[in-house]
Structure 1
Amino acid sequence: MPPHLPPGIRIHHDPSNPNPGKRRSLTATRPFSPGDEIATFSNPLLVLPDNATMRTTCNYCLRRPSPTTTTTTTMATTTSGGQHQLKACTGCKAAVYCGAACQRAHWRAVHRAECKMFLRVREQAGRDWLPTPVRAVAQVLLMLRAGGDAAVREAFEGGSDDGNDRGGGGGWWWSGLEGNVEGFESADGGVVWKDFELQAAAAVVYAGVLGGDEVLAKAREILCKIQTNAFNRLDADTGMAGIFLDAGLAMVNHSCVPNAFIGFDKRTAVLRAERPIQEGGEITISYIDNTLPKAVRYEALKLYHFRCNCPRCDDDLDVYDVCETSPNIPLNSFSLQPDLEKLRNPPIDRSKVTKAEIEAIYKKWQALAKPEGGNEGEHLKLAKARWELCRPLVEARMWAAEPLPTTVLELATRWQTNYKMVVYALPLLCFLATECDPFKLVAPFMPWRIKGIVAIVKLLAVTGELTASGALVATGCTHEGLLGTLVTADQVSMCEALLRLAVRHGSVGAAEDWDVLQQAKSILEDVESLPGREQESNMLRAWAKDPEDPECAAFFETQVLKPIKTLSSFAVEILEVMLAGKSVVRR
């Protein structure tokens, strides 16, 4: 039988599609607006943390402990979360759980057999973990050997026709997950396949399901199906990582101009609309970073063994081309880039650099060797080389075209943890939030944009403390315009406004207990409780309810948006000074 699907979607089967990978797709059974939850998938075939987080994440629900963290700022002293200890399985001591309920559930699902596997791993390899793909394949082998449920058998061993049309396209077509075995066999001249053979063999040995070439072939096929259909839960900012595989969700196809995106919440995946979707319309997501140059996207899609023919690829559209016609532009009236005309007509100069030149820049950028360790001199040397490669993009004012945003972001990320440079990191983050992210991801509820806003709040807390204590100059910052802006700005009101943006959009585009959203809510509560700020808080609260109110809009413009824009305007100058050795321009 076809995969069981939640309401709102159906599987469409088109055997005439010349692209084999597109013959199955997900379509909407009703209209969806941007930000709408399309479907929730909470009964995956396979879900596990990666090997790096296996000991710090509940192996069943994938909940991470929330250590008590205290941040003292001029705004408030914030304590978020409570210490939550994970307890290891008493048998293998390898898998850990947040409580007895999760441990029992995981035991019934797979750990009853997996527990013995980890004992073998300790005896034979002297460790208590396995590479993520190896563990995933081993889990499937163990579930199949134990009989598994019907969904696991059908997904990994091929389905059967029961005469019912649960997928909306005829039960006869469902033959399990696509594995693209031939594609993997030939990928990179067979190098990928050799790696697959080693991983599959390891899974067979450690799972204890030895059975000759037939079992090894089955293990390789399972690995191919996992690689083709599983979603990577990686979110470096929140520490989330691992594999999520649901047969129904695996039917969603790729587009470099997707109309949907996926968010993960423990054992659940939520499919949300990024753009308007009509009833009967195909639902698509991006399997890769779709803002990269075309040739780089094609290289990334090799893993999936198809060539994308979406509008972005067929017409070679860049981020600005896609942004200019996006139906999500009006949503930015409540954002850090409320200038809708700027989004429709970006002030860039395409004559300065061609799309072919951008692809060449990116490839050279990728080829630059990253330094190992924390040598600041080597990291600065790399940043200077990257900035020089991006010179044509700087001259074209194409701030949102990769690899320029990543060059700025990685530098800002390093500066955030450097006392002498932390003040300079703030303009860079403001620049990314106003001149890069809105053009790359037009919908303001996209998680990446929300993360950027919360990152600014955290830096404002740091610079606010430095300003109040008089230690701002002690950091060594010599940029008069930057110092003057921080001294005169109402940084608390800036934080409150940004937090209201993050909470509003985070409630639309993310799970309720997403770490970033919870942080924003917690800090906002602390800011609202500060004494002597009732007038400002009331104004911002009213602005969040009605951004078009003239008085509230004026307050936001002068007290929040103007200083954010001013800080953003210093970014390129700071980068030119730090990375290109140009003279400081006093402002």
Structure 2
Amino acid sequence: MAPLGTRLTVTPKRGQALTATRPFAAGELVATFSNPILALPDGPSMRTTCNYCLRTRASLNRSLRTCSACKAAVYCDPSCQRAHWKVVHKAECAMFTRVRTNVGKDWLPTPTRAVAQVLLLLQARDAATEAAFGKGGTLEGNVQGFRDDEKVWADFELQAMAAVVYGGLLESEEMLQRAKEVLCKIQTNAFNRLDADTGMAGIFLDAELSMINHSCVPNAFIGFDKRTAMLRAERDIAAGDEIEISYIDNNLSRSTRQEGLRLYHFECKCPRCVDDLDTYQVASKSPVIPLNKFSLQPDLGRFTTTPVGAARVSSATVETAYKAWRIEAASGNDAIATQRQWKLCKALAEAKMWAVEPIPSTILQAVSVCQANPSTWAYALPLSCFLAIECDPFKLAAPFMPWRVKGVMMLAKLLGETARLTATEGLAKTCPDKTLDEVLEKSDQMCMCEGMLRLVVHWATIGASEDWEILQEAKEMLQEVETLEGREKESALLRKWAMDPDDPEANAFFKYAVLNPVNELAALAIGIMDGQLWSPSR
């Protein structure tokens, strides 16, 4: 049964699909999926994440209670523990005792635990699991496709064997075959819940959600809130439109996208793949460009302007640069490795194709390098400003997309820190660059921070759940900033701007107090990447 507002259909070339039965506006919640067959943290996070509701220990800010029987699964409270026992832990609890006895660990790799859960639920004749994974079940497994890949199939055999052994199941050829088939279905249909910024990790599988097909130019996206998956419109969806999401990072080069889709066993025929469109070409066609009027990139003309040197850079050059970059990125993430990665971006940088990978990923890695070093940490601010105005808006044209919101939130936090240092006259002592220090000294960093927080609160409310940790943190920070003495006039203007970005006075103040210094800081970024960050004196 399809969620309200949608219907399941069967297409000649793409099999089952989810179609809208009514219009959805960009950012609107299309459907929620709150009764998954699988919802579990990844192996290493099992001891720091409630195994039922999936809230992390860090987000709860308190310790978790351990299952007294297996001493492996942990929970935030007794109600979650009881719910998980009823859903699946009753079947899997004894498994972790075997794991501890045999290998001295209190967790299993995520795929092994997921397969074991399904097999144990099938053994218990759980109706929902049988409908999805049983004989004639609704989930596609692409078993032959996985079998044809010798390396992948060898890994599957090991994981399936471990699930059978630790699950205490009959070790027969039939059971092993069934375990491998289950693993194929999980690989094909499960969603990765990874979000490094909030500590969220693991997998989520809902049979109805898995019916949504892929496109590298999607009209919807998935977000997660505890045990619930939320399907939201990335742009306006008309009644009768097929709802499509991206299974992969759709801003990578075409060959990299094809490689990422290999384990799904289909060839994408979306416009981005057929015409080999780059990030800017896709952004220029986005129907949500006008929403950026309320963002850090309100110059809507930028979205339809091709970078000056784009014609000189072929798709083959981009492919070659990204392949070399991936090899280099695998070697490390320190300053030296990041410098080498940046050199591989030379052709794209000369063409000012800032939003084309691997430039954004390299600059983001440089931000991490800066933050880890007291002598360069302030460089993280101009680099983050550059990402927020030159990269993220073109990769994700909708300003409510969580990744863009997190980028603005990172800026707000950095500005909060530099503002504190400026107030205590400590910025000049820790700032590694005179020009950067001068830009910050003449800027009202608290105004900038408040402007960022208002953007985060506005767009996160549209693009995520009310419980999203980023949104809650932004609200708390905004409340603190608003109560600072002597800032009543500035806060009133920014509040007015957030309510009506077209108000002449409020808009002029936003440009003067927030947008102009952001652009000044961003202008320093490429100089930092080209040499200042890697100076031996640092």
Relative to the length of structure 2, the TM-score reads 0.97
Q: 1:50 aligns with which of 42, 57, 79?
A: 42
Q: 2:384 aligns with which of 420, 424, 429?
A: 429
Q: 2:94 aligns with which of 116, 119, 122?
A: 116
Matched AA of 2:3: P
Q: 1:276-333 deviations in whole A, cap 9, x for unaligned?
A: 1110110000000000011111111111111100000000000000011110100000
Does the alignment pair 1:155 with 2:115?
no
Which residue matches 1:83? 61
Which residue matches 1:229? 189
Q: 1:351-400 deviations in whole A, cap 9, x for unaligned?
A: 3311110111001111115445xxxxx82222222121111111101000
Which residue matches 1:284? 244
Moved more, 321-330 or 112-121: 112-121
**In structure 2, distance between residues paired with 1:346 and 1:509:** 28
Q: 2:284 aligns with which of 324, 327, 332?
A: 324
Does the alignment pair 1:131 with 2:91?
no
**In structure 2, distance between residues paired with 1:555 and 1:180:** 57
Does the alignment pair 1:303 with 2:281?
no
Q: Flag the 1:127–1:321 CA change in 2: closer, same or farther, 3 A.
A: same
**In structure 2, distance between residues paired with 1:529 and 1:581:** 41
Unmatched tracts of structure 1, length 5 or more: 68-81, 160-174, 373-377, 583-587
Using the TM superposition, give the Cα deviation of residue 531 of structure 1 relative to its aligned residue in structure 2, in angstroms.
1.4
**In structure 2, distance between residues paired with 1:318 and 1:183:** 29
Are the aligned partners of 1:318 and 1:401 in contact in 2 as well (CA < 8 Å)?
yes
Are the aligned partners of 1:137 and 1:203 in contact in 2 as well (CA < 8 Å)?
yes
Which residue matches 1:75? none
Which residue matches 2:83? 105
Matched AA of 1:155: A
Q: 2:147 aligns with which of 185, 193, 205?
A: 185
**In structure 2, distance between residues paired with 1:522 and 1:476:** 27
Using the TM superposition, give the Cα deviation of residue 206 of structure 1 relative to its aligned residue in structure 2, in angstroms.
0.8
**In structure 1, distance between residues paired with 2:236 and 2:319:** 30
**In structure 2, distance between residues paired with 1:491 and 1:124:** 56
Map 1:83-482 onto structure 2 (within 5 A): 83-148=61-126, 150-159=127-136, 175-187=137-149, 190-368=150-328, 370-371=330-331, 379-475=334-430, 477-480=432-435, 482=436
Q: 1:532 aligns with which of 486, 491, 495?
A: 486
**In structure 2, distance between residues paired with 1:369 and 1:531:** 46
Which residue matches 2:503? 549
**In structure 2, distance between residues paired with 1:285 and 1:348:** 31
* SS state at 2:2 partner: coil
Does the alignment pair 1:9 with 2:1?
no
Which residue matches 1:375? none
**In structure 2, distance between residues paired with 1:478 and 1:507:** 37
Which residue matches 1:575? 529
Matched AA of 1:152: T
* SS state at 2:472 partner: helix
**In structure 2, distance between residues paired with 1:352 and 1:468:** 47
Q: 1:523-573 deviations in whole A, cap 9, x for unaligned?
A: 001111111211111111110000000000000000000000100011011
Are the aligned partners of 1:156 and 1:177 in contact in 2 as well (CA < 8 Å)?
yes
Are the aligned partners of 1:383 and 1:579 in contact in 2 as well (CA < 8 Å)?
no
Are the aligned partners of 1:39 and 1:272 in contact in 2 as well (CA < 8 Å)?
yes
Matched AA of 2:340: A
**In structure 1, distance between residues paired with 2:2 and 2:386:** 42
**In structure 2, distance between residues paired with 1:221 and 1:469:** 62
* SS state at 1:63 partner: coil
Are the aligned partners of 2:165 and 2:171 in contact in 1 as well (CA < 8 Å)?
no
Matched AA of 1:570: L
Using the TM superposition, give the Cα deviation of residue 476 of structure 1 relative to its aligned residue in structure 2, in angstroms.
5.3
Moved more, 99-108 or 457-466: 457-466
Share of identical aligned residues, percent?
56
Are the aligned partners of 2:335 and 2:369 in contact in 1 as well (CA < 8 Å)?
no
Using the TM superposition, give the Cα deviation of residue 66 of structure 1 relative to its aligned residue in structure 2, in angstroms.
3.9
**In structure 2, distance between residues paired with 1:342 and 1:131:** 45
Matched AA of 1:153: E
Are the aligned partners of 1:416 and 1:459 in contact in 2 as well (CA < 8 Å)?
no
Q: 1:427-448 deviations in whole A, cap 9, x for unaligned?
A: 0000000000000000000000
**In structure 2, distance between residues paired with 1:229 and 1:272:** 19
Q: 1:194-250 deviations in whole A, cap 9, x for unaligned?
A: 110010011001111114111110000000000100000000111000110000000
Matched AA of 2:8: I
**In structure 2, distance between residues paired with 1:384 and 1:404:** 12
Using the TM superposition, give the Cα deviation of residue 259 of structure 1 relative to its aligned residue in structure 2, in angstroms.
0.4
Matched AA of 1:460: L
Are the aligned partners of 2:251 and 2:357 in contact in 1 as well (CA < 8 Å)?
yes
* SS state at 2:17 partner: strand
**In structure 2, distance between residues paired with 1:578 and 1:253:** 45
Q: Flag the 1:334–1:544 CA change in 2: closer, same or farther, 3 A.
A: same
Q: Flag the 1:274–1:578 CA change in 2: closer, same or farther, 3 A.
A: same
Are the aligned partners of 1:371 and 1:379 in contact in 2 as well (CA < 8 Å)?
no
Moved more, 569-578 or 512-521: 569-578
Q: Flag the 1:135–1:580 CA change in 2: closer, same or farther, 3 A.
A: closer
Matched AA of 1:458: K
Matched AA of 2:377: V
Does the alignment pair 1:509 with 2:460?
no
Are the aligned partners of 2:376 and 2:533 in contact in 1 as well (CA < 8 Å)?
no
Matched AA of 2:438: G
**In structure 2, distance between residues paired with 1:239 and 1:222:** 27
Which residue matches 1:27? 19
**In structure 2, distance between residues paired with 1:128 and 1:572:** 46
**In structure 1, distance between residues paired with 2:316 and 2:533:** 25
Matched AA of 2:132: A
Using the TM superposition, give the Cα deviation of residue 580 of structure 1 relative to its aligned residue in structure 2, in angstroms.
7.6
**In structure 2, distance between residues paired with 1:298 and 1:308:** 7
Are the aligned partners of 1:388 and 1:580 in contact in 2 as well (CA < 8 Å)?
no
Relative to the length of structure 1, the TM-score reads 0.89
* SS state at 1:92 partner: coil
Moved more, 249-258 or 112-121: 112-121
Using the TM superposition, give the Cα deviation of residue 574 of structure 1 relative to its aligned residue in structure 2, in angstroms.
1.5
Q: How many residues are paired up?
A: 536
**In structure 2, distance between residues paired with 1:282 and 1:103:** 38
Unmatched tracts of structure 2, length 5 or more: none
Q: Aligned Cα RMSD in Å? A: 1.5
Using the TM superposition, give the Cα deviation of residue 349 of structure 1 relative to its aligned residue in structure 2, in angstroms.
1.7
Moved more, 121-130 or 429-438: 121-130
**In structure 2, distance between residues paired with 1:310 and 1:146:** 42
